């Protein structure tokens, strides 16, 4: 039986580039090469595309290659001795996080190419990437969200009109880059400028008092599988493990608890709320839904990651593994979904 030719795209130009590289290295460790013939296509921080044998330390020295938007190619164009050779692909697995990877841009290229791909489509990728738009759609579906304000590019924000504390964050970024907790009005201008280093559109939202919980979702509606719920136990500050110096060996201020140490019926409510959010935002394939659990049992949307981290310390694979689905099986299922629309 011929192996499936899988294009695995990683890296990219966003601030989450290093996380993507760690994620794809974990995917490479778990990928069943008896089933799949992988073609690792890395994108450098400067935007150069490189085809490599494996995503090791020297992947940037790989051959120049691009994903062709021409449906007659249906795969890669690889520069070899001054000429382009073609490699046809059966499916693409994007292992990209953040801008130009998780926001609909890569999904648009894949739609042009005609190659089936893992994960959310253009519309849901773009929607989930913009936290303010995700909040608007979620609210229309009856899901609780934080109260929030938007500051457009160069817009001055009146600190006196807000109730503190608030979180100031880029509207379209991830992994807590550019996020600041603001407790006093005089701290607001600096926080807005920090967020604008990552996005011209800034989101200011109320600080929700409650536990930070998450749920990994796999599947296409109506057939959804929920991983175990996790809870992030914080000693101080807020969750930002991907910005720490050695996250593989543990966090400076957070401990993920999987399954979450909350009552079983509450875990079920969190899982069903995550599914409702996933459906409302049009997600498919996989996503991690991050939420807040308030003391009164209310579940509030935080954000949705449509291409969640798959590193050794990431939440999505940990929650799925706790539900009996190791990463190798998750890969099998999401590839099957991309090809057939079914869990396989």
DSSP 117: B
For residue 249, name the pLDDT band (cuts at 50, 70, 90).
low
CATH of the domain at 296: 3.30.470.20
3-state secondary structure 136-178: HHHHHCCCECCCEEEECCCCCCCHHHCCCCEEEEECCCCCCCC
* 343 pLDDT higher than 80: no
- What CA–CA distance (Å, rounded) separates 305 from 129? 8
Is residue 254 within 8 Å of 271, Cβ to Cβ? no
Same domain, yes or no: 275 and 173: no
| Domain endpoint, select from 157, 176, 206 | 206
Same domain, yes or no: 245 and 305: yes
Report pTM: 0.92
- What CA–CA distance (Å, rounded) separates 131 from 336? 29
Range of 308's domain? Answer: 126-145+209-340
Give the tens place of pLDDT for each residue, 188-222: 999 999 999 988 999 999 999 999 999 999 999 99
Same domain, yes or no: 244 and 306: yes
% of the chain with per-residue pLDDT over 90: 81
| Domain endpoint, select from 185, 206, 227 | 206
For residue 252, name the pLDDT band (cuts at 50, 70, 90).
low
Helix (H/G/I), strand (E/B), else coil: 249: helix
Same domain, yes or no: 248 and 315: yes
- What CA–CA distance (Å, rounded) separates 315 from 292? 15
Same domain, yes or no: 197 and 232: no
Mean per-residue pLDDT for 83-108? 95
Torsion of CA 26, 68, 73, 42, to 10 degrees: -20
Structure token pair of residue 185: 């009005």
| Domain endpoint, select from 159, 181, 206 | 206
Run of H or E including 1:
none
Is residue 148 within 8 Å of 135, Cβ to Cβ? yes
Per-residue confidence (pLDDT) for residue 241, from 0 to 100:
52
Pairing state between β 75-80 and 148-151: unpaired
Per-residue confidence (pLDDT) for residue 27, from 0 to 100:
98
Same domain, yes or no: 241 and 132: yes
- What CA–CA distance (Å, rounded) separates 75 from 68? 6
Same domain, yes or no: 53 and 167: no
Q: Distance between the two ends of the chain, CA-based, in angstroms?
A: 17
Torsion of CA 166, 172, 177, 180, to 10 degrees: -10
Cβ–Cβ contacts within 10 Å for residue 340, how many?
11
Cβ–Cβ contacts within 10 Å for residue 321, how many?
17
Task: Identify the bridge partners of residue 49 per DSSP, sorted by sequence position.
Answer: 43
Whose tokens are 């890569």? That residue is 106
- What CA–CA distance (Å, rounded) separates 81 from 258? 51
Same domain, yes or no: 281 and 177: no
- What CA–CA distance (Å, rounded) separates 254 from 156? 34
Same domain, yes or no: 314 and 329: yes
Rg of the chain in Å (alpha carbons): 20
Per-residue confidence (pLDDT) for residue 262, from 0 to 100:
96
Phi, psi of 330 (to 5 degrees): -60, -45
CATH of the domain at 193: 3.30.1490.20
Pairing state between β 36-43 and 4-11: parallel
Mean per-residue pLDDT for 37-51? 97
Structure token pair of residue 202: 């800034």
Whose tokens are 């849901």? That residue is 124
Same domain, yes or no: 169 and 256: no
Same domain, yes or no: 86 and 62: yes
Structure token pair of residue 49: 């595309």
How many structural domains compose the chain?
3
DSSP symbols for 181-247: EE-SGGGHHHHHHHHHTT-SSEEEEEPP-SEEEEEEEEEETTEEEE---EEEEESSS---GGGSS-G
Same domain, yes or no: 198 and 289: no
Give the tens place of pLDDT for each residue, 227-243: 999 999 875 555 555 55
% of the chain with per-residue pLDDT over 70: 93
* 268 pLDDT higher than 70: yes
Is residue 148 within 8 Å of 132, Cβ to Cβ? yes
5 half-sphere exposure, CB direction, 13 A CA radius: 10
């Amino acid at each position: 039986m011929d192996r499936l030719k899988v294009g695995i795209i990683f890296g990219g130009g966003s601030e989450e580039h290093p996380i993507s590289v760690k994620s794809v290295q974990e995917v490479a460790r778990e990928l069943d090469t008896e089933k799949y013939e992988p073609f690792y296509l890395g994108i450098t921080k400067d935007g150069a595309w490189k085809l490599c044998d494996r995503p090791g330390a020297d992947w940037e020295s790989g051959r120049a290659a691009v994903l062709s938007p021409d449906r007659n190619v249906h795969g890669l164009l690889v520069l070899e001795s001054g000429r382009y050779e073609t490699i046809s692909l059966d499916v693409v697995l994007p292992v990209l996080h953040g801008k130009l990877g998780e926001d609909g841009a890569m999904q648009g290229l894949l739609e042009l190419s005609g190659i089936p791909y893992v994960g959310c489509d253009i519309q849901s990728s773009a929607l989930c990437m913009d936290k303010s738009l995700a909040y608007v759609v979620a609210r229309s579906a009856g899901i609780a969200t934080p109260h929030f304000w938007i500051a457009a590019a160069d817009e001055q924000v009146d600190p006196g009109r807000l109730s503190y504390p608030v979180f100031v964050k880029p509207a379209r970024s991830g992994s807590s880059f550019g996020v600041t907790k603001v407790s006093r009005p005089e701290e607001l201008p600096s926080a807005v400028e920090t967020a604008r280093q990552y996005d011209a559109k800034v989101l200011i939202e109320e600080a929700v008092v409650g536990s930070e919980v998450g749920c990994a979702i796999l599947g296409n509606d109506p057939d959804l599988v929920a991983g175990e719920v996790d809870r992030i136990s914080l000693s101080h500050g807020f969750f930002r493990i991907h910005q720490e110096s050695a996250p593989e060996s543990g966090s400076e201020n957070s401990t993920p608890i999987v399954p979450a140490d909350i009552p079983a019926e509450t875990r079920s409510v969190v899982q069903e709320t995550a599914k409702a959010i996933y459906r409302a935002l049009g997600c498919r394939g996989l996503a991690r839904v991050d939420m807040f659990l308030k003391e009164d049992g209310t579940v509030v949307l935080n954000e949705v990651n449509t291409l969640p981290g798959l590193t050794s310390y990431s939440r999505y694979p940990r929650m799925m593994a706790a539900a009996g689905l190791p990463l190798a099986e998750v890969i099998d299922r999401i590839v099957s979904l991309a090809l057939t629309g079914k869990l396989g």
